[in-house]
Amino acid sequence: MAVRRRYSVEQIVARLREAEKLQGQKLTIPQACMRLQISDQTFYRWRLRFGALKEDEVRCLQEALVIDALHLSGRARLRPARVR
């Protein structure tokens, strides 16, 4: 059974760029995925979600996600308790 790993957004974008380089060297997508040690399905999912991002855009995305998470957690604390 394969070991499940969690990749950061930066690592995902770097892997996608590496896959592009490998495809430029005439490797197929399954061959590139094998070399990057990810499944084909993971590659396609990542490409749909993060394919258009560049490294500088990744930082902006992460900052937005952190702000959203803080906002949601703050909103949950400010919500009054229900009275039954």
Q: Is the pTM of this model over 0.85?
A: no
pLDDT in tens, 34-78: 999 999 999 999 999 887 777 667 777 777 777 777 777 765 555
Q: What is the dihedral of CA 35, 31, 51, 71, to 10 degrees?
A: -50
Residues 63, 69: Cα–Cα separation, whole Å: 10
